[in-house]
């Protein structure tokens, strides 16, 4: 692939990051009525149907939208993995941690909403107990498999902090990524509580964790990736910490 073509492709893919942010906030948060999500662990099956799935027919479109656009997270993560190399231009275990975590997170963000879309489409055909089971399975998978995203964030954060030659990302972004990624551990408490900060819509397990992940991690790295792909080839190699030939 010619250098100009490669750069054009990378620039186009870099914009899938902002596209993911905008579409997922709209489909999952706004149209999906997840600001905050229903407190399903404290609701009876009948309440979940009457107060959520039976009340908002637009959930069909919302969760199909999540399924359609969620994998843009994976596309962007693949671009990011291609940018983080060691000083000799080789990929490292930290690269693969970022890549694997990004692939799996994108898959989760796209696949789990299919369960919720099914609940919405079949709300008049399935009994409330089945609706609640599908809904809860989705949220347990969404939250309790946190390690796939933690893996990406810690791998990327460590690369940012430990690669002293790179100037692509500031060290504070790396430390922030590591801190947010490790804070995801609290998500495993979600199925065991019905109220408080660790509930599905709680101040910690929803607003703080997902808010910082989206804004303090994903948005921040988006900005620096976009700045990086619009630099010249030589500037990009220097920013990546790659040794240039004498």
Residue 246 lies in a domain: no
Residue 30 lies in a domain: yes
Q: What is the model's pLDDT at position 89?
A: 78
Q: Report how far residue 118's alpha carbon sits from residue 245's, in angstroms, rounded to the nearest whole number.
A: 56
Contact status, residue 134 vs residue 114, Cβ threshold 8 Å: no
Q: What is the model's pLDDT at position 7?
A: 87
Residue 225 lies in a domain: yes
Q: What are phi and psi of 23, to 5 degrees?
A: -70, -40
Residue 128 lies in a domain: yes
Q: What is the model's pLDDT at position 243?
A: 64
Q: Is 181 exposed, middle or buried (0-12, 13-18, 19+ CB in 10 A)?
A: buried
Q: What is the model's pLDDT at position 4?
A: 79
Q: What is the model's pLDDT at position 236?
A: 78
Residue 160 lies in a domain: yes
Residue 245 lies in a domain: no
Q: Is 242 exposed, middle or buried (0-12, 13-18, 19+ CB in 10 A)?
A: middle
Q: How many domains does the chain have?
A: 1
Residue 206 lies in a domain: yes
Indicate the length of the chain as a whole number.
246
Per-residue pLDDT of the chain (246 residues; tens, 9 = 90+): 777 788 899 999 999 999 999 999 999 999 999 999 999 999 999 999 999 999 999 999 999 999 999 999 999 999 999 999 877 778 899 999 999 999 999 999 999 999 999 999 999 999 999 999 999 999 999 999 999 999 999 999 999 999 988 889 999 999 999 999 999 999 999 999 999 999 999 999 999 999 999 999 999 999 999 999 988 877 877 777 776 654
Residue 13 lies in a domain: yes
Q: Which residue segment(s) compose the domain that 90 sits in?
A: 3-240
Q: What is the model's pLDDT at position 42?
A: 95
């Amino acid at each position: 692939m010619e250098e100009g073509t490669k750069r054009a492709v990378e620039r186009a893919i870099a914009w899938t990051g902002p596209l993911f942010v905008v579409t997922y906030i709209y489909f999952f948060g706004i149209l999906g009525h997840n600001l905050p999500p229903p407190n399903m662990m404290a609701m009876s099956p009948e309440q979940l149907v009457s107060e959520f799935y039976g009340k908002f027919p637009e959930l069909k479109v919302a969760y199909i939208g999540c399924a359609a656009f969620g994998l843009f997270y994976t596309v962007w993560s693949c671009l990011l993995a291609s940018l983080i190399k060691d000083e000799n231009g080789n990929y490292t275990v930290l690269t693969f941690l970022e890549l694997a975590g990004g692939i799996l997170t994108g898959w989760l963000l796209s696949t789990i909403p299919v369960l919720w879309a099914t609940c919405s489409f079949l709300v008049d055909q399935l009994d409330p107990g089945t609706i609640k089971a599908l809904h809860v399975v989705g949220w347990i998978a969404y939250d309790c498999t946190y390690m796939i995203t933690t893996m990406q964030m810690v791998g990327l954060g460590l690369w940012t902090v430990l690669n002293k030659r790179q100037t692509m990302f500031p060290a504070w972004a790396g430390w922030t990524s590591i801190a947010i990624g490790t804070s995801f551990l609290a998500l495993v408490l979600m199925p065991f509580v019905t109220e408080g900060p660790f509930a599905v819509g709680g101040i910690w397990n929803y607003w703080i964790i997902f808010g910082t992940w989206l804004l303090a991690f994903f948005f921040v790295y988006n900005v620096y990736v976009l700045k990086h792909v619009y630099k010249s080839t030589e500037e990009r190699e220097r920013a990546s910490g790659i040794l240039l030939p004498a």
